Amino acid sequence: MTGARRITVSAAQLGPVPLAASRAETLARLIKLLEEAAVAGSELVVFPEAALTPFFPHWLVEDAAELNGYYESELPGPNTQELFDAARELRLAFVLGYAERTAGDRRFNTAVLVDEGGEVVHRYRKIHLPGFRDVTPGTPFQNLEKRYFEVGDLGFGVQPWRNTTVGLAICNDRRWAETYRVLALRGAKLVCLGYNTPATTPHLAESDRLADFQNHLSMQAGAYQNSMWVVGAAKAGVEEGVAQIGGSAIIAPSGEIIATATTRGDELVTAEIDLDMASRYRRDVFNFAQHRRPEHYLPIVEPVATGNEYTETS
Ligand code: ING
């Protein structure tokens, strides 16, 4: 396709990050994936959510010093400088998910876009925090993101990068239609997101058999309904006793999965993507200006009570 705007991108799936692993050992795995991406001709590498540490919201951490050890107070900093240096040397841009602790001791589940010059050019703080503030007794693992993170305060921003516009999201965000629609309304054509997704959901066991399906469903629907490319990178495998899905994928504005991981370990998933496909679908199918009519979506007619509305007690 002559003149098309084609770039090569990678989802850098990670297997488990054990508690026993040193920060240096983990960082070496990310750098190895960067090097693989450079050999594959990739220009942007997407790492998972919480890529530098185990996903500590899966358990209760009561010791303050231990808890602080999971966050980064500076980026780049002592735990990430080598990654930034390697990416800059390889002229690779990357997205990194990590636990952020601000100078004012505010804590967020964060992802940053770092350009090929090693500059943090965009930051996103996770808005849809699943799970709870307090421990759920009797479940095999927890999700305490509401305990360890604040709701993101940056909204869904977009960042021009190379000849496209990038938006970031994190994990549970990908399940919510608003994530993609708001990014699309703001001009994003490429959404990069990382996730740590358990293969079982203690509060909704019936969905367990659908964990992989609902992962791809969420990203494929978001990509198609908003004419976007979506790159999703998993932290996969059994991490501190919690089995997590893989399924890292590169998904086209057509909704098709054009590349996906086949393991639950460290695995680079790379594809050359045609950015103009996003423009074609936005021009012909999801042309917001021509076809979308938000002014007609309201007022919502109050539903006539039929007696089968969902209530907490039903
Ligand atoms: N993890 C999970 C996710 O959204 C989850 C939590 C799993 C919520 C399954 C609902 C159903 O993929 C994170 N970290 O958000």
Q: What domains does the chain contain, in order, with CATH numbers? A: 6-313 (3.60.110.10)
Q: Which atom of ligand 1 is nearest to the CA of 171?
A: 15
Q: Is the pLDDT of residue 116 over 70?
A: yes
Q: Is the pLDDT of residue 24 over 70?
A: yes
User: Which residue among 126, 235, 239, 267 is the active-site one?
Assistant: 126
Whole-number percent of the chain with pLDDT over 70? 95
Q: Is the pLDDT of residue 307 over 50?
A: yes
Binding pocket residue ranges, ligand 1, CB within 6 Å: 130, 143, 171-172, 175, 195-197, 201
Structure confidence by residue, pLDDT tens digits, 135-160: 999 999 999 999 999 999 999 999 99
pLDDT tier at 272, thresholds 50, 70, 90: very high
Least confident window among 3-7, 110-114, 182-186, 266-270: 3-7
171 is catalytic: yes
Please state the rounded mean pLDDT for residues 83-91. Answer: 98
Pocket-testing residue among 49, 145, 171, ligand 1, by greatest number of atoms within 8 A of Cβ? 171
Structure confidence by residue, pLDDT tens digits, 59-86: 999 999 999 999 999 999 999 999 999 9
pLDDT at res. 310:
60
Mean pLDDT score of the chain, rounded to an integer?
96
pLDDT at res. 305:
72
pLDDT at res. 1:
46
Structure confidence by residue, pLDDT tens digits, 170-217: 999 999 999 999 999 999 999 999 999 999 999 899 999 999 999 999
Question: Can you give the chain as a three-state secondary structure string?
Answer: CCCCCEEEEEEEEECCCCCCCCHHHHHHHHHHHHHHHHHCCCCEEECCCCCCCCCHHHCCCCCHHHHHCCEECCCCCCCCHHHHHHHHHCCCEEEEEEEEECCCCCEEEEEEEECCCCCEEEEEECCCCCCCCCCCCCCCCCCCHHHHCCCCCCCCCEEEECCEEEEEEEHHHHHCHHHHHHHHHCCCCEEEEEECCECCCCCCHHHHHHHHHHHHHHHHHHHHHCCCEEEEEEECEEECCEEECCCCEEECCCCCEEEECCCCCCEEEEEEEEHHHHHHHHHHCCCHHHHCCHHHCCCCCCCCCCCCCCCCCC
